[in-house]
Structure 1
């Protein structure tokens, strides 16, 4: 019986065994497939400590673009979400299966671009999504914090009550303010590749320019979105 000897056996064995060592000999493992949003997808994250400010901007973006937008899904359990088989029911499940949840939302809305809101304290989530093979765009909204807002925040999170003495609040407020500044500094120090910032104290044109880069829209469209008189109102 004649044999065609091409002498590729040694090199073929080396190639396949080498692929096996790094988990690429055959198809992608199911847990690797489930753990990424997708190379061609773009996740846009609005980061803001004042949730009502981010929600106003998100609603404006929703009105002027066709990009699906979801509010603080990792911070507010009552955030409206489609039925995804139970993975969306609790904050614990959403956080634990964060990439699978986001991938399912991309599939549900049949889109390659999705906007969500996150709290600056969710640095671990931001870092996780930034490391994904998809593109992660971030827009941090830096707000000014009045004493009235800080007092309200302290009451909402249980650090103060209606009967808390003014002397106690005077000692507490600088600590809360420093904590918020620290969270923003950590985001800046993380070195995210696609991070833009808009500021309450900045001019409209400056904020519109950052928004245009975040949404990949024209300067005129970004200015239309950013031109909200009550955006930063408490």
Structure 2
């Protein structure tokens, strides 16, 4: 397999006396969807924020496209798409105006019309972001992450709050990103989403990886949900 687009090695991080990440190691590759699952408090948000360059670990190594994201320059950041579950969108600006502004920050990819159609943005693009429903904000956030045709995309719960039809559209977009060679990292609590999208799965608990691999190798004949609950019970934390 080619070198990892995202590589996390022996990452340790604490908040006060609480160890959030405890020697965490995993990787994600170009042209594959990696789904990261784990219970609340597993450390998913912390490690993804570090990979996005928003936090710095206490120790260990994080490389995204071969670069430490904490000190990355603008050209590197333009290759990374980020969709946050909460925040990151300007509440007072109309959705369409916000996305149009973003197109000026990247080399022109011509993606906005396509994403507008695929995600149904036209129906609310003149509405201020703060007045959008949760599902509408999700669609705007996903469009913002995919506008630059990123080499790596971090998508936090990309289909949360969407109706079944819109969820299928989002999954199709995620697969298309993978097929053009993007390394797509999806954090999710949805086993259905992971089963539909994942080429690789990382299951975290208590700041460590308790299982990683393809869905078939991780679940080993059981359902993903049963495997997840078995692996993330406190008795299994090592």
TM-score normalized by the length of structure 1: 0.33
Higher RCO (C-alpha 8 Å, min separation 6): 2
Higher helix share: 1
Bigger share in strand: 2
TM-score by length of 2: 0.33
Question: Higher Cα Rg: structure 1 or 2?
Answer: 1
